[in-house]
């Protein structure tokens, strides 16, 4: 019984057998009790008939005068009359004359032993000579009637059992069939197949399980497609600098270009390839987190000043003004990762700005829900530029891997920023700046002190 279907069938059959056994046991007791009660009632009726005859003559009672009517059948009823000494003075069988009863018949009816048999009897006092009449019938004749009733009952119960068993088998088969189909479909599942035939779920618990598997297969297929696309993009991005390096190496060998020109291009492309590999490794670690980030209490304004000071030479090279405004905001954050996000965002802003990049540090509150009107304290750093900006339809796509906008380098910087923000529970969004360009907002809830 290792399969679910076998266990359900075994439980169904075992439960039905136990139910039938209990039903038969209780029904036998009920049938036997009803049979005894009906027989006693018949015997009491025969006593009344016998007393009417005996009032005329003590020996005028013929055994054939007493009959037990039961289930459309007639059974002869025997009798005897005893005196106060429990001695038989008259009987339907002459052999019983002079027989002494060893057990007094106190009750009006019951079961008594006679001739090594159990007899069902009924008795009543006679009005003359202190006599007592007893009519009786063998209990075995009633058992035969009970057996017939039990045979009919067992046949009906067996028929009902078979009907319920067939219905149960059909129900179990229909219930477990989707699971069997799901097992077969999952065992042959391959993520590279665009549409894998999974059974259709319904509103039952098993149907919900099937729907869950369908959703899971869709996510796996999407993830597989994303990985394939990622490998293709990596191959394409690495192929370009490698081809440049190879081409200029051959050009130097063939003396098509000077050594200085060739080495400059080789150095530039190899540096770009190393940067790309480092970012890919960093992105891979972020997507599969295994290390813990230490959280420290930092001044966000001071961090923004440090990032701006570090990139001030690069901004001056492009004649870009770099400005930081805002008050002191103290927050509990992973400092190294937050600083990396700021560096990437500022570098991105410098590449696209015309003349100005603005960093604004602020603290604020927002409503957490409209029902309880509770507010959350937030810190935010906005990095704005006066460049061409980001089209609204690309505001989410720029955080995807290898998505390059105008003047993009590797297409991985903003993807890394997005992964860091997601892992630390912050949000990173892109909107339109009042300066005319892009506005990147790095925001997170302030932890309770």
The answer to whether 279 touches 233, Cβ cutoff 8 Å, is no
pLDDT > 60? residue 367: no
Position 100 scores a pLDDT of 84
**β-pairing verdict for 117-125 and 132-138:** antiparallel
Question: Which of 69-78, 277-286, 350-359: highest mean pLDDT?
Answer: 350-359
Provide the residue count of the chain: 449
DSSP for 167-178? HHHHHHHHHHHH
Position 382 scores a pLDDT of 93
The answer to whether 5 touches 176, Cβ cutoff 8 Å, is yes
The domains found in the chain, sorted by start residue, are 4-148 (3.30.450.20), 205-287 (1.10.287.130), 296-445 (3.30.565.10)
The answer to whether 164 touches 156, Cβ cutoff 8 Å, is no
| CA–CA distances in Å: residue 417 to residues 75, 284, 286, 346 | 102, 13, 10, 12
CB neighbours (10 Å) of residue 36?
17
Question: In 3D, which of 93, 100, 108, 106 has the Cα closest to residue 48?
Answer: 108
pLDDT > 60? residue 406: no
Tell me the average pLDDT across 262-273. 82
Residue pLDDT, tens place only, 81-136 = 888 888 888 888 888 888 888 777 878 888 888 888 888 888 888 776 678 888 88
Position 233 scores a pLDDT of 63
DSSP for 296-349? EEEEHHHHHHHHHHHHHHHHHHTT-EEEEEE---EEEE-HHHHHHHHHHHHHHH
pLDDT > 60? residue 372: no
pLDDT > 70? residue 350: yes
H and E: helices and strands count for the chain: 7, 14
């Amino acid at each position: 019984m290792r399969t679910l279907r076998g266990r359900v069938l075994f439980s169904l059959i075992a439960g039905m057998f136990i139910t039938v056994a209990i039903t038969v046991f209780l029904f036998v007791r009920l049938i036997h009790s009803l049979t005894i009660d009906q027989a006693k009632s018949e015997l009491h009726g025969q006593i009344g008939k016998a007393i009417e005859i005996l009032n005329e003559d003590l020996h005028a009672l013929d055994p054939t005068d007493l009959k037990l009517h039961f289930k459309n059948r007639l059974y002869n009823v025997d009798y005897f009359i005893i005196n106060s000494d429990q001695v038989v003075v008259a009987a339907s069988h002459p052999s019983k004359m002079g027989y002494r009863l060893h057990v007094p018949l106190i009750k009006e009816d019951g079961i008594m032993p006679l001739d090594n048999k159990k007899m069902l009897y009924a008795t009543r006092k006679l009005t003359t000579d202190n006599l007592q009449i007893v009519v009786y019938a063998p209990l075995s004749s009633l058992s035969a009637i009970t057996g017939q009733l039990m045979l009919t009952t067992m046949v009906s119960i067996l028929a009902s059992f078979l009907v319920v068993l067939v219905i149960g088998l059909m129900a179990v088969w229909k219930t477990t069939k989707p699971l069997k189909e799901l097992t077969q479909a999952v065992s042959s599942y391959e993520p590279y197949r665009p549409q894998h035939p999974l059974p259709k779920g319904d509103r039952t618990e098993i149907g919900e399980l099937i729907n869950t598997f369908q959703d899971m297969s869709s996510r796996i297929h999407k993830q597989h497609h994303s990985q394939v696309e990622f490998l293709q993009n990596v191959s394409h991005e690495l192929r370009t600098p490698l081809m440049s390096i190879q081409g200029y190496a051959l050009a130097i060998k063939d003396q098509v270009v000077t050594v200085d020109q060739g080495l400059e291009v080789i150095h530039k492309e190899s540096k770009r390839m190393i940067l790309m590999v480092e970012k890919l490794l960093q992105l891979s670690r972020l997507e599969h987190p295994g290390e813990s980030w230490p959280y420290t209490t930092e001044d966000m304004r001071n961090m923004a000043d440090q990032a701006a000071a570090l990139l001030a030479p690069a901004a001056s090279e492009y004649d870009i003004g770099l400005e930081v405004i805002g008050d002191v905001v103290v927050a509990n954050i992973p400092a190294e990762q937050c600083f990396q996000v700021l560096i990437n965002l500022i570098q991105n802003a410098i590449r696209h700005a015309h003349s100005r990049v603005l960093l604004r540090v602020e603290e604020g509150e927002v409503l957490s829900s409209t029902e309880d009107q509770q507010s959350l304290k937030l810190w935010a750093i906005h990095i704005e530029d006066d460049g061409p900006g980001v089209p609204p339809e690309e505001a989410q796509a720029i955080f995807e891997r290898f998505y390059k906008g105008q003047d993009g380098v590797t297409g991985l910087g903003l993807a890394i920023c997005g992964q860091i923000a997601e892992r630390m529970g912050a949000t990173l969004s892109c909107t339109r700046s009042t300066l005319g360009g892009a506005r990147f907002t790095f925001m997170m809830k302030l932890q309770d002190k």
